[in-house]
Amino acid sequence: MSFEKLGLIKPLLGAIGELGYKEPTAIQKRAIPLVLAKSDIFATAQTGTGKTAAFALPILQKLKNSQGGEDRAIRAVILSPTRELAIQIFEDILGFSKHMSIDCVVLVGGKDIQMQQRALKKGIDIVIATPGRFLELVEKGVNISEIEFFVIDEADRMLDMGFAKEIRKIHPLLPKRHQTLLFAATYSEKVRKLSKLVLTKPAFIETSKKNSTVDTINQVAYMVDTARKAELLAYLIGSRNFKQVLVFTRTKVSADALFLELQKDGLKCGIIHGDKTQAYRLKTLTQFKEGIIKVLIATDIASRGLDIENLPYVINYELPAVAEDYVHRVGRTGRAGRDGEAISLLDIYEKYDIREIERVIGMKIPQEIIAGFEPDLTIRRKDEVEFKAKSEYKKPEEKHFKKPAKKAFVKPTSKKKRKTTKRD
Ligand code: AMP
């Protein structure tokens, strides 16, 4: 099926043609006609499936060209959990609306709010924002009474990050008649509750199995000792000649430590985590995309919203604390139908974490050992040792609280009596 068949207008067809989109992806096939037909949408879709175009193209078509005029009301708002994803959506929309006249702005936390207010005063049609900053702007009087489209992208991530409060505050301020499009990569009870609150008779779109990882991703786990993970990582990058690899750590501290370690090995690497400034993160990401940096180390903050064309490898240096985050991490590769490889470096302490991940994704991840990096399988997790110790421990009642066997009754001598006897 072609994009023409989906009923898109010429300026949009021209723009996506220039971007090299030939065929709509599954989510685009389903979502575009539904949004054009004014339906609310609840879509579970992995990142990398083309979901940005799935909501942005029909919204642009419906908004048509800007009505112009300073201080006009905003017509569409797209909420994103992270600044990086917001900027990415903004850039995608700029590309899609190349042959249209639409004013679009990105409003994220950490930037001068007064400048953002001034930008809005000039007249904006589409706002892409993080929830906290958008709510702040609304509380400062930004007019959202004429919103036609309300998009909640990566709703699951947003809720995990604690943005439910902001969405609950923004939602009642929206006009009664508007379309809401909700996208989530993973489905959870929290997401279901939010959907009940914000959606009216939504069309459900499920382009992939719940919480499943994209089929084109080859997944493997290499068992290794904790102390040798950095060495194995450097070995894999070197021996397999990885040109561009995204490496995830669980914490900022281990990201920093790994960064130093890989630099010692002479690898050109960059780092993105919550303690790095926005400007630094963007610069690092650009250098990574341009190939100046070969290895990008990131914590889960970066696992969503990073869209890097043709990213072939994702390495989980440490498994994520939340199993669902595995789906988001590996979703950085194998995007838009391309092949990708997700490698996890698995130490003994992560034995149970991988089982939880396998339960969430509904498949087994093959575990292998690389020659020269054989793990010491005699190491036991501390809790396993404790568990074993407990199971060897005989129940106290068996040992100590056995009913005493009936003995011939011997009348005890009272202390008083004994004392008397002693004194005697
Ligand atoms: P998204 O899931 O929106 O982050 O998109 C993932 C990547 O796929 C982006 O680089 C898009 O530019 C690209 N993409 C989206 N739709 C298509 C399409 N129909 N054909 C080719 N590439 C696409």
Give me the tens of pLDDT residue by residue for the chain, a chain 424 residues long: 789 999 999 999 999 999 988 889 889 999 999 999 999 999 988 777 789 999 999 999 999 877 777 778 899 999 999 888 898 899 999 999 999 999 999 999 888 899 999 999 989 999 999 999 999 999 999 989 999 999 999 998 899 888 999 999 999 999 999 999 999 987 788 899 999 999 999 999 987 544 555 666 788 999 999 999 999 999 999 898 888 899 999 998 999 999 999 988 888 899 988 787 778 888 888 898 888 999 999 988 665 656 665 678 899 999 998 887 888 888 777 665 566 789 999 998 888 889 888 887 778 888 888 889 988 766 555 554 444 444 444 444 444 444 444 444 444 444 444 443 333 3
Kindly report the length of the chain: 424
The pair of structure tokens assigned to 28 is 């685009």
What are the residues whose beta carbons fall under 8 Å from the beta carbon of 329, sequence distance 6 or more?
248, 300, 303, 314, 316, 320, 342
pTM: 0.61
Chain-centroid distance, C-alpha 35 = 25
Which residue is associated with the tokens 């569409």? Answer: 76
Model pLDDT, residue 83: 85
Model pLDDT, residue 338: 60
DSSP character at residue 208? S
Among protein residues, the one whose CA lies closest to atom 1 of ligand 1? 50
Ligand 1 atom with least separation from CA of 19: 12
Ligand 1 atom with least separation from CA of 3: 19
Model pLDDT, residue 336: 58
Pocket flag, ligand 1, residue 324 (CB < 6 Å): no
Domains present along the chain, CATH in parentheses: 4-206 (3.40.50.300), 217-381 (3.40.50.300)
Ligand 1 atom with least separation from CA of 45: 2
Ligand 1 atom with least separation from CA of 21: 20
Whether the Cβ atoms of residue 75 and residue 148 lie closer than 8 Å to each other? yes
Report helix, strand or coil for 76.
strand
Pocket flag, ligand 1, residue 48 (CB < 6 Å): yes
β-strands 126-129, 104-107: how paired?
parallel
Pocket flag, ligand 1, residue 25 (CB < 6 Å): yes
Among protein residues, the one whose CA lies closest to atom 6 of ligand 1? 48
Burial 403-421 (b: 16+ CB within 10 A, else e): eeeeeeeeeeeeeeeeeee
Among protein residues, the one whose CA lies closest to atom 4 of ligand 1? 48
